[in-house]
Amino acid sequence: MEDIRSVLSQFRAKRQLQEVQKSGKGPYGQASTSEIPDIFFDHILLQFKLTRPEIITLMFLYRQVWCRPNLYRAHGIGPLNSYAELSVTLNMSREELVTHIRALETYGFIETVRAGQYFVRKFFTEELDRKYGQDYDEFF
- Domain extents for the chain? 38-131
Residue-wise pLDDT tens for the chain (140 aa)?
567 777 667 766 555 444 444 555 555 566 778 889 999 999 999 999 999 999 999 999 999 999 999 889 889 999 999 999 999 999 999 999 999 999 999 999 999 999 899 999 999 999 999 999 888 876 55
In the chain the beta strands, taken as DSSP E runs, fall at 110-114, 117-120
Report pLDDT for 31.
73
- Measured CA to CA, the distance from residue 63 to residue 56 in angstroms comes to 11
| Greatest distance between any 2 Cα atoms in the chain | 77
CB 76 within 8 A of CB 119: yes
Report pLDDT for 93.
95
Report pLDDT for 100.
96
Report pLDDT for 45.
94
- Measured CA to CA, the distance from residue 118 to residue 54 in angstroms comes to 15
Query: For the chain, how many residues are written?
Result: 140
- Measured CA to CA, the distance from residue 56 to residue 59 in angstroms comes to 5
Fold classified for 38-131: Arc Repressor Mutant, subunit A (1.10.10)
Query: CA dihedral in degrees (65, 70, 75, 81; nearest 10)?
Result: -60
